[in-house]
Structure 1
Amino acid sequence: MDFIRNYFNAISPISTETWLEIAPLFEKRELQKNDFFIKEHIKATEIGFLEKGCVRAFFTNKEAKEYNKQFFIAPSLIGAYTSLLTGKINKIPQQALTECTLWVVNFKALEKRYSQYHDLERLGRKIAEYYFLEKEEKELEMALKDATQRYLIFSKKFPNLDQKIPQYHIASYLGISATQLSRLRNKLSKNIK
């Protein structure tokens, strides 16, 4: 589990004492492709450290059309943060797009230790800040960039993901149809040649 500690330390260093306190709280879990980390309409209780694989966060509109909000690629933290923070039911399910290995921890058990371990509280704040910035960046991309620009940003942010997951998931994330994505990719490949 040193990889989790290294990941945390890259965000905000935590002491050996803190690590020894929280490491036993993590439990290993495997998800098969299409398994859910968290479903819609339930209260979230856990966060997970994604050691291997890819998970999508998505929502479904009234017409049952799905929209991919985010992809999480290992190494990454996943969880229904709004539900965890508010205690309300989750509206954005998270589903494995590949086989995944996770290390899962009860959020309240971790949060309970914030007052005793200030480096852990600082880590939690830094992670929240990172996800806020990432969310704002995605909102600006969707509003200000055209489909080609959004695809190029996606390709840079998630290299080789387009080889691992269905194209309709990528199209949904980019806010375009699968047909538009296919045309865009064909056009870009011709420009490279």
Structure 2
Amino acid sequence: MTDLKAFFQKLTSISPENWEKFEALFTPKILKKGDCFIADGQIAKDIGFLESGIVRAFYRNHEAVEYNKHIFINPCFIGGYASLITGKPNQIIQEALTDCSLQVASFADIQKLYNTCPDLERAARILAEQFFVQKEQREIEIVLLDADKRYGIFQKEFPKLEQQIPQYHIASYLGITPTQLSRIRKKRSGK
């Protein structure tokens, strides 16, 4: 689990003793393309560290129209965070867009370490703060920027993703139709 360790070392220092306790909570898991890490209505119990692959977070309205809320690429954590915190059913589905390799742990087991491992609790706080800032930035982009600018940001954030996932997922993430995305791409290529 060197990726997980390297990921945490960038956040804050964690004592070797506490790292051993933390690392022991994780077990490997493979998600095949199309598998869900967490489904709609499920109560979240686990959190996953995405080592490889691509996962989308989306919700489905009453007419079964899907809206991509987030795209996860490694290294990062995935899981029904709101459900983990509140204990209420998850509303945002997380589905593998490619085969994925993860390390998975019980969120409750991680939380139990916080009382005796303040460095782990600090790392979790930093992660939560980063996620909040990222979420706020995304909300601002969706409301204030036009589709062309959002597409430019997407290309910078996910430089190789366009060749790995279907265009309709990218369009949904940008809050536009596949036809609009096609027009933007055509305009940008100068054709």
The two structures have a TM-score, normalised by structure 2, of 0.98
Aligned to 1:50: 50
Partner residue of 1:151? 151
Question: Percent identity at matched positions?
Answer: 51
Q: Any idea what SS the aligned residue of 2:40 has?
A: coil
Question: What corresponds to 2:19 in structure 1?
Answer: 19
Partner of 1:100: 100
Any residues of structure 2 matched to 1:30-69 within 5 Å, and which? 30-69=30-69
State the 4+ residue runs in structure 1 displaced beyond 3 angstroms. Answer: none
In structure 2, distance between residues paired with 1:23 and 1:98: 25
User: What is the match of residue 123 of structure 1?
Assistant: 123
Distance in 2 of aligned mates of 1:24 and 1:115 = 17
Q: Aligned letter for 1:96?
A: A
Q: Which runs of 5+ in 2 are unaligned?
A: none
Q: Distance in 2 between matches of 1:2 and 1:162?
A: 28
Q: Distance in 2 between matches of 1:50 and 1:144?
A: 30
Match of 1:174 in 2: 174
CA offsets per residue over residues 54-103 of structure 1, 9 Å max, x none? 00000011111000000000111111100000000000010000010000
Structure-1 separation of matches of 2:178 and 2:120: 42
* SS of equivalent residue, structure 2 residue 110: helix
How large is the RMSD of aligned CA atoms in angstroms?
0.8
Shift of 1:22: 1.2
Q: Whole-Å Cα distance in 2 between the matches of residues 49 and 107 of structure 1? A: 12
Give the aligned partner of residue 160 of structure 2: 160
Distance in 1, Cα, partners of 2:12 & 2:63? 42
Counterpart of 1:141, as a letter, is: E
Aligned amino acid, residue 116 of structure 1: T
Partner of 1:74: 74
1:6 aligns with 2:6: yes
Q: What code does the residue aligned with 2:2 have? A: D
Matched, 1:183 2:186: no
Mapped partners of 1:169, 1:37: distance in 2: 18
Letter in 2 for 1:5: K
Secondary structure of the equivalent of 2:95?
strand
